A = this chain, B = another copy of it.
Amino acid sequence: MKIEFWMLGETTKDFHKEGLDKFCDRIKKMIPFETRVIQTKKGFNKLPKQAWKKKEAQLVLDKLQASDHLIILDEKGTSYTSSNFAKHIDRLMNLNKDRIVFLVGGPWGFDESLYKRAQEKLAISAMTFSHQLIRVLFAEQVYRGLSILKGLPYHNE
């Protein structure tokens, strides 16, 4: 079982990248975990919003295997406390799936085809954060969740 975190487009090289790398490095020491940047094509940003989302979705769908458990990060998804998210990570790791894929979208959110493909929608917050900042938040919550499961002193109740 491996957890992968897929992101549409590069992480911009300011504080987002530093924050993301910091938490991902810690996670990688704890579980099989990989990040993957799905390069969006030049010219997508000249397309109308719906067409852009559709093109991005196709890039993701082409890389998914039928057996992948896909969780998209969406503010209308299920919200958890950090403790409950930790329990959910534990459940996911025991699903008997080869690969759990968490996906953060581009600036316009997800095309309908990805909503249909996804097994779950996860809300980091009811608030919308930039698709860059949400990467840091997701990684921090996975690290926090694993720390809770392992009884490490990162999370204070």
Which residues of A are in contact with B by a Cβ distance under 8 Å? 14-16, 18-19, 22, 75, 79-82, 85, 107-109, 124-130, 133, 136-137, 140-141, 144, 155-156
Contact = CB atoms under 8 A, between A and B. Distances in A.
30 contacts: A14-B19, A14-B22, A15-B18, A15-B22, A15-B136, A19-B19, A19-B133, A75-B81, A79-B125, A79-B127, A80-B126, A82-B127, A85-B127, A107-B156, A108-B156, A109-B156, A124-B125, A124-B127, A125-B125, A125-B127, A127-B141, A127-B144, A128-B155, A128-B156, A129-B137, A129-B141, A130-B140, A133-B136, A133-B140, A137-B137
List the number of copies, as a whole number. Answer: 2
A80 B127 contact: yes
A15 B22 CA distance: 10
A142 to B, nearest CB: 11
A131 to B, nearest CB: 9
Contacts of A124: 125, 127
